[in-house]
Every structure is written in C-alpha cells, then in structure tokens.
Amino acid sequence: MSKAYNVMAATCPSRTVLHRIGARWTVFVVNALADGPRRFTELKGHIRGITPKALTETLRSLEADGLISRHDHDENPPRVEYALTPLGRSLLIPLRAVRLWAEEHVPDIEAARSRQPVP
C-alpha cells in the first residue's frame, strides 16, 4: 500500500515534486526529450530563450530527481546525451494534457487579461 500524501499540508514532500514540475524550464526540457535523447546543444537550440546556465541547472535537477539520465559517450571530442527515464516518460501524459489545455484556452486568458485595468 502506498503512503498517502496531501499536497495542501505544509510539510508534504509532494510539494517539492510539484515545485520541480512547475519550475520555469522543466516542462520544456521534458517535452524536448519526448522523441528521444538529445545533446546539450540540441536542447539549447530546440528550447528558444533558455540560457546555457538555466539549461545546465535544469538538467542537473531533473537528473537528481530521476526524471532524466545523462549518458557520457567515450569519444573524442566528448559527447553527452540526455534522455527521459521511465519516470520522466510517465510525466509526458499529464504535461501533454496541461499543454493542450493551455493552447486551447489562450484566447480566454488573453481576453480576461485585456479586461483588467492596467496598474
């Protein structure tokens, strides 16, 4: 039987998981790896606007959380690839649902924002 978690409780460990998923670049990195392994430069080129520092930090965090793996190829020059782990792949389903919801509701959100007074 798995332990029950309540994200609304201040001390619940699931909050750290939600924080990781909600981090600025996590969704983009996970989605960029959906079709298979990629090198750092491929990820940076695919995820527009991400800085090398932000990408490095995000990759390290996702690896520490077990969502991605890092594979060092024994080549010269060195080559490193990042890939989703099975745990990371399981995140694709809920992320796709959120992405579809966001794309579908952009007009609603933009309309609501346009009705708000500018501070």
Residue 5 in any domain: the answer is no
12: Cα within 13 Å, side-chain hemisphere: 13
**Residue range 44-62, pLDDT digits in tens:** 999 999 999 999 999 999 9
Residue 97 in any domain: the answer is yes
Q: Tens-of-pLDDT digits for all 119 residues of the chain?
A: 567 778 888 888 888 888 888 889 999 999 999 999 999 999 999 999 999 999 999 999 999 999 999 999 888 888 899 999 999 999 999 999 999 999 999 999 999 999 887 76
CATH of the domain at 92: 1.10.10.10
Stated pTM of the model: 0.84
Other Cβ atoms less than 10 A from the Cβ of 84: the count is 23
Residue 1 in any domain: the answer is no
Q: What's the number of domains the chain is made of? A: 1
**Domain range for residue 22?**
14-115
**Structure-block tokens of residue 106:** 């952009």
